[in-house]
Structure 1
Amino acid sequence: NIIAQAQTGTGKTAAFGLPLIEMINSSERSVQALIITPTRELAIQVSEEISSFKGNSGIQAIPVYGGQSIDQQLRRLKKGVHIVVGTPGRVIDHIKRKTLNLKDIEYLILDEADEMLNMGFIEDMEEIMSHTNPHKRTLLFSATMPSRIKALASKYMGDYEFITVKKQQLTTSLTEQIYYEVKASDKFEALCRIIDIEEDFYGLVFCRTKNDVDSTVSHL
């Protein structure tokens, strides 16, 4: 179990999403991980990011949130999914309908827990956690650590590791950082030159949008 105090934009989704892809058993068509987010926009974003990580693993992740047809969500859940990313209210709705069984989940992630507290979802978070497998692993991410969040962790998480990520800690002194300031239209050419210069280039290329990713891959 882990509590991580980290700001938005520090790579939290990749930090929990990539390990989930590795650890989930794709041959079992059951929900093995639940990710709770404060808003539907974040639920959609996290679900899309995790789906972009999965490659050919066969792992299915879906967002569930208010404002979307619940019948559509029910159909997808019945087909069998591995990861559910949802807002507190809609997750509780599925629990009450018995369309989402959390007794066998192995991983619970609470993303932006302080925002859920600010939006009045603390009781919903507690109710959701009370329905989960007590032997699961829980990861709680929060930019701040108010007393209600600490109390929630003490009640439901047992022993946990506490990690604080500050802006100055995003990289270590062993990491060399090089910054190139180029026009947007010249970015791809600059990337190609970097790859040509580095004999053993191996790494990750991050793009701002899905279209940028597709374009970069096709041109490389």
Structure 2
Amino acid sequence: MSAALYIAERDFKGFFGTPLGWIAACIIFLISGVVFFIIVNLLLVRGQSIDPVADIFGQVLGFLNYINIFIIPAFTMRAISEDLGNGTYRLHSAAPISTWEIVAGKFLGIMFYFATIITLMLIYPLYTFIFTQPDLKVLITGWLGLILNSAAIISIGLFISSLTKNPVLSYLGSTFFILIFILSGFITGIPDWYRKSVNLLELSSDFTRGLIKTGSLATYFAIILVFLLLCRFVMESKKWRL
């Protein structure tokens, strides 16, 4: 896994060396900060208690799950498609590095980036320690839910990225696929287990309420593993055509 960690570290540092990495971070911080402080200030102006501030932050994290549907594909769109287009993957294929290490490295690099941004956002609810004692359980579970939801979207984005050499098509395809994947859970008449499995937004809602369910964790890990394996399969099939 040393090769995977090397790729992850390289990509992670690369994100903070590009405008995209900083723009995405600013967007996430700006949206979460504005929404959070507007709600808190409204409560203070009205003289209401801000004891449920952790619940408020949980809702902010839930809102970011929607935003990530459009932000994360901007990071995954070049992860593999660009390597396929410029011939980098051909060099990787000739090197003593497995396809799985490439996929895992790409996944971890993007995941570390978003985990860093999400963790730094905890500064907002910690600010409210001045006024009250937030429920740390809700903060932690909400943080975990956003991490898992981001990981699921990243794995889907990497799979779509492996299907094309065009980053723009990869972005559009990832966003469209994720939306269809989620919206298919709203079709009437489908089994309840399927609806809960494909609706990533509903899966994360339990975490923003301070709940960690074994079924939700298993579903997230299954989605991540399945799409990473699909990505590996597609890349392996392309290797033989190089």
Global fold match (TM > 0.5):
no
Name whichever structure is richer in strand by fraction.
Answer: 1
Name whichever structure is richer in helix by fraction.
Answer: 2
Scaled by the length of structure 1, the TM-score of the pair is 0.22
